[in-house]
Amino acid sequence: MESGAVFAGLHPNSPSHHLLLGPSRSAIKILPPPISTDHKLLSPHSLSLQLQKQTRFASFSNHSNNNVNSLRVASPTSNVASELADIDWDNLGFGLMPTDYMYTMKCSQGETFSKGELIRFGNIELSPSAGVLNYGQGLFEGLKAYRKHDGNILLFRPEENGQRLRLGAERMCMPAPTVDQFVEAVKATVLANERWIPPPGKGSLYIRPLLMGSGAVLGLAPSPEYTFLIYVSPVGNYFKEGLAPINLIVETEIHRATPGGTGGVKTIGNYAAVLQAQSAAKAKGYSDVLYLDSINKKYLEEVSSCNVFVVKGNVISTPAIKGTILPGITRKSILDVALSQGFQVEERHVAVEELLDADEVFCTGTAVVVSPVGSITYLGKRVSYGSEGVGRVSQQLYSALTSLQMGLTEDKMGWIVELK
């Protein structure tokens, strides 16, 4: 897989080149600035451009490839390769902060994705009859980029997100980028928005890939056209509590997913379905909702946007993936980390009654990473966990995973992708 290319004049305030991207591994040409004002910039695939000697660059390389190519982001108005955006890094919440560029790529039904480009971040135009608006034909992903103290930029298992997107697209009758295309598009978008990556320890750059039916369709049918889009935003903690215990309520009537449905893929409709229960819970002071299976109404499924784990002694249990639960990448990683640290791990049916006798409960997800649960309320009864805040196991797994994601410990798993 080719690992990069070169951006010329990729400065948000004074774009100076228009780069055209062809199919994967094709050449990139530098054209004169376009007359239009959208200043479209090409998303690169492995090429080096000779720029003016006085310009300094931020370089990128994929060290897992012996045939290393480089990507450089140059600003024609500054000698500093990557100036941090002027925002309050100490008070980042989890919300959208518009950045400089987003990535877009289109294809028609029955065809494959082959061309993509970086464009200015902003609104997109859709037909009122777009498949995603009328029939919910859409998927999304979530992953993060971290900045190290030495200037390196790290991604955590992006190929897993690319593979999950492809599995979801198959379920939703959509074409999808290849895993290589997905990863290269993520890299390009992150590097184009490098100044928005928080300083080490201040947060991360949240990356949101979208795949949607953008073509017009009136009758119920797959969309005739699809758009793959990536935008990014710097973020802090997902829950306002940060790494502090959250309080959940078990929902017994509203269900997130049903067998045979789409609960096991990251389609947009899964999340709209939880808003009613989640809003009601937050109005009562809870952090979020824990859902039960829709058949027996007794087995744990997941929280609105993250997986759940139950700790008893040295055993860590989590609901098995069976089509109604999203196969979280953080979930998968925590299972491996827990095994490597000597815990016994079980993926199985976990009855709600097991919460009453648990030592700890925690949630995992891209946004929350690991979030300890301080209490769970079920049928009016509140069960609290621990008296000293974050539980030992939650803290241990959180520290192990975040240290790996941020490049503070050696990556023995082969999960980290370095961009610089």
Q: Which residues are identified as catalytic?
A: 266
- 136 in the Ramachandran plot: left (φ > 0), alpha (ψ -120 to 50) or beta? left
- Length of the chain, please? 420
Q: What is the DSSP letter of 366?
A: T
Q: Helices 158-171 and 329-340, interaxial angle, to 10°?
A: 130
Nearest to 195 by CA among 99, 325, 79, 294: 99
Q: What is the residue type of 194?
A: E
Q: Which residues contact 279 (CB under 8 A, 6 or more apart)?
A: none
How far out from the chain centre does Cα 86 lie?
Answer: 24
Q: How many CB atoms lie within 10 A of CB 114?
A: 16
d(CA 32, CA 15): 11
State the residue for tokens 């100076």: 16
Structure-token pair, residue 110:
């029955």
Nearest to 121 by CA among 39, 199, 180: 39
